[in-house]
Amino acid sequence: MLACRINGVDSRQLEITDRACQYGDGLFETLAVRHGQVEFLQAHLQRLAEGADRLGIPMPEESRWRDDIRAILVGRQQAVLKLMLSRGSGGRGYLAPDHPVVSRIVMLHPWPVHPPEHVEQGVRVRFCETRLAEQPRLAGIKHLNRLEQILARREWEDETIQEGLMLDTRDRVIEATMSNLFWLKGSTLHTPDLSACGVQGIMRQQIINLAPALGLDVQIDHYSRQALDEADGLFLTNSVIGLWPVQQLEERLFDPIKRIKQIQDKLDAVRLQHAESDF
């Protein structure tokens, strides 16, 4: 970790009584900082506010987040920015205080080094055995209860495999451990419905938004694992990696698809358009 601010003060330590530590009672956002600019800050703050509303955690004023980000980013060209919001300390057991004093945490991490081939040729992906439980009250938001993803990520050690796809308990394909999943079939772009589990990624929404301009229909639905067998090509998205084509899923190899390259190029353009350096 490069730096951390907690409630506007440089600090790397949290009260042990904070409900983030005790119960995972909070939310987070992971943002890309490139060329000294923060990508999709507004969209991330919006999702954080929606998550806070769902959990009943008061959302700090946007200006407080922006002040912290300005302070922590000074001079950085490329990094990963992580925002965390917890309900703070207190409460008897699970019962939260009536007027919580939230913890507003802004962390800066080094930019992860991924080989350029991941973006250009694609990545190797497997299926995970760990299932995502159906929990509509927590679906979509990026909360701090992440044991399912941790168990899924522990399933493989092969460093040539970059991601693992996760099904829910009804055998429907949902997402990957740290990214959302899309696939192309003809001119239709498919991505799973996330109303029962999964995280509504910011990049996922950008892909959904830009698809029509590329002549693609978007279909958001419940899909079995078998639906992927009919796909022309798959790809993964998240806020830091952007878009990774899937080169191999289990034993199946995919040829590069021109349309995925077009989506990638369009996404790159959108990322630049929605990057902020003026807080």
* Residues lying near a copy of itself in the complex (CB under 8 A): 1, 4, 6, 11-25, 28, 55-56, 84, 86, 92-96, 105, 107, 112, 130-131, 133-135, 137-138, 143-154, 169, 177-178, 197
Query: Please, what is the minimum distance in Å from the beta carbon of residue 98 to a copy of itself?
Result: 9
| Least distance in angstroms from the C-beta of 203 to a copy of itself | 15
Q: What gap in Å lies between CA 231 and CA 186, rounded to an integer?
A: 8
Cβ-count burial of 213 within 10 angstroms (0-12 exposed, 13-18 middle, 19+ buried)? Answer: exposed
Nearest alpha carbon to residue 149 among 132, 125, 173, 134: 132
Distance in Å, CB of 277 to a copy of itself, minimum? 26
Q: Which is nearer to a copy of itself, 23 or 279 (CB)?
A: 23
Residue 15 known to be catalytic: no
Taking the complex as a whole, how short is the minimal distance between the CB of residue 171 and a copy of itself, in angstroms? 13
Q: How many other C-beta atoms lie within 10 A of the C-beta of residue 97?
A: 13
CA angle (196 as vertex; 189, 236 as ends), nearest 5? 35
82 flagged as catalytic: no
Q: Give the chain's largest Cα–Cα span.
A: 56
Q: Which of 175, 177, 191, 237 is catalytic?
A: 175
CA atoms within 13 A on the CB side of 126: 14
Q: How far is the CB of 67 from a copy of itself (least distance, A)?
A: 19
**Residues shown for the chain:** 279
Round to whole Å and give the CA distance between 88 and 124.
Answer: 39
Instruction: Name the residue nearer to a copy of itself (CB basis): 112 or 215.
Output: 112
- Closer to a copy of itself by CB, 36 or 91: give it: 91
Which of 29, 39, 130, 142 does the annotation list as catalytic? Answer: 142
CA distance 174 to 12: 34
Q: Is 142 a catalytic residue?
A: yes
Structural contact between residues 168 and 196, judged by C-beta atoms closer than 8 angstroms: yes
Query: Please, which residues have CB within 8 angstroms of residue 266's CB and are 6 or more apart in sequence?
Result: 210, 213, 214
In the beta sheet, which residues pair with residue 218? 189
- State in angstroms the smallest separation of the CB of 34 from a copy of itself: 18
Q: C-alpha 196: how far from its chain's center? A: 17
Nearest-angstrom CA–CA distance, 175 and 154: 16
Q: Which is nearer to a copy of itself, 121 or 145 (CB)?
A: 145
Residues labelled catalytic: 30, 142, 175
